[in-house]
Structure 1
Amino acid sequence: MAHDERRLQVLRAIVQDFVSTNDPVGSKALAERHDLGVSPATIRNDMAVLEEQGYITQPHTSAGRVPTDKGYRLFVDRLSAIKPLSVAERKAIERFLDGAVDLHDVLGRTVRLLAQLTRQVAVVQYPTLSRSSVRHLEVVPVAATRLLLVLITDTGRVEQRVVDTHVEIDHEAVAELRGLLNSAFVGVKLVDAGNKVPDLLETAPPHLRALVGAVSATLMETLVEPGEDRLVIGGTANLARSSLDFPGSVRPLLEALEEQVVVLRLMGEVDPGTVLVRIGEENAHEALVEASFVSVGYGSGDRALGGLGVVGPTRMDYPGNMAAVRAVARYVGQLLAES
């Protein structure tokens, strides 16, 4: 076996032991616990080289070594493949998510499930509206001069607004308006839909013009600015369990999660199928330098609707967390594609 390959095995063993025990790892323990096929002296030499190369380091008070961010990065990059979850785990995901009644419920359950599976903080982004299309527009009379306008996107998002028409509502005209709006907007991307409103005003039949005029400003508002991107966060109590991993304080990380902007920015780069892992200093935000972020896009086909992932200490079970994040994202994508 080449030296490099053997050293990688030693690094893998150090990462696995340190993640499971939180104790710095010595050469003697490695020789006893892992079948590395070489003498403790060779393991000591390999550890010396790994330390020199910056993959492991020695905490002041200990004879053992712990992985550095660079060591975790090499470990993650050299995972031959993410092991799939077991059939039982996949069935549990299915059961847990299957009873969901709407998008809010799907995402709420997803966060709880991810936090349970990984014992980390779970974050799920609402489907990004810029990537959504109009699935249906509903217009419902709610009073003599009042309509409710409901936008349903292909990502399951529902936005509703009340419109004052200032004129008595004719039910037949409302049915015609509904038809007109749906033929103009269904399937249109939200980012393009706002531009179509002025055309609609010009091309509406004369008897519907007043009604189209009444709903046009609200329609514009609903299509162009329907709520900001949001995150659902769960399992923050899991950070208390790993407070030793944040020697300063876990507070800056909690504040960054609360601000959401930091995490949304990290989510901006996700795509379905590719699990991204950012370790320690790779997270360009000071609150996350002692944390790792494992994320992936969820969606239908190759189109990401949003991202989901877990945040925790750099001392985490990367293969397990990557597998859980990927499996849950796949299932959420399927669920939303069917809805």
Structure 2
Amino acid sequence: MSLTGQIRQPVESDYGELVRQIRVRGLLQPRPRYYVVLGSLNLVALLLAVAGLVLLRDSWWAVLLAPVFAVVSGQIAFFSHDAAHRQISRSSRVSAMLCLVHGNLLNGLSYGWWLDKHNAHHAHPNDLESDPDVAVGAFVFDAEQAGERRGMAAWLTRHQAGLFFPMLTLEAINLRVSSVRAVLRPGLRYRRTEAALLLAHGVLYAALLVSTLTWAQALVFLAVHQALFGVYLGCSFAPAHKGMPTLTPEQDSDPLLRQVLTARNVPGGPFLGLMLGGLNLQIEHHLFPSMPRPNLRRARPIVRRHCQVHGIPYLETTLLASYGLAFRHLHEVAGSAPPSARS
């Protein structure tokens, strides 16, 4: 099975030589000072947003702060993502603590559940059997799987390109539901701590809204915040892999080919990198997950040159073009849904 059809590339990629070049430049070393500044800015932004709600108490103008909260929530999620990859500290205990505070307490998302899911994605990106990010769900990324849909699921698949953004408004709620389910069943290493922090997040969030807004305002704020948070996360992750191919067994066995051929970069300036949490340089991130975010742009020309020397496609595109590629793939897959499901 394939997402966009298999491609044929050389098996020998000399991954060891690329790793040597990256290591000799110190690009895998943690950047704690960078993350101290970034984490402090995130916390200051969060406190200012909370202060804004207090100052605009019981005013509909306060709802305008919901998009600000969505961006801050996204930035905190990116910080937690980097901590989970040990980009901030090589210590597993320090990394877990940072993730529990930023993921569970500040964002209401389970660190342990997300880590298991994300590790599976990194291990085999775009693998229809192993990568949970392309598993059959609200969206379908494979024509054969689309052909197996029936009823309402088939209708959703037929219209999935047009429903992409509307359905992203539910993504934050979906992540929270999955987080709660994860802590309710055995398996998480810090299960009790995670449950307590998720509960604390919910209580504090509800208390903030109820104490600063009327019930009507609070419900509108909640809806706008969570909807835009979901869209923000979805738009940050979608450009990287959606519509990229699956691999032959030979390609999948090579660590460099497995990561480079299934990802695309969206190069841009510092602002774009900040807004997308560094995920715009997805090729470098997947090749070196523990590489601190600010070092990705320094690794990019090294990786690109290595790929050129070995004849390995290194795909880069603009942000808008990346969405176009993803939408085109969703539309092509939608055409494989059963004819009876068509409107």
- TM-score relative to the length of structure 1: 0.27
- TM-score relative to the length of structure 2: 0.27
Structure whose residues are more often helix by fraction: 2
Q: Which has the higher contact order (CA 8 A, sep 6+)?
A: 2
| Bigger Rg over Cα | 1
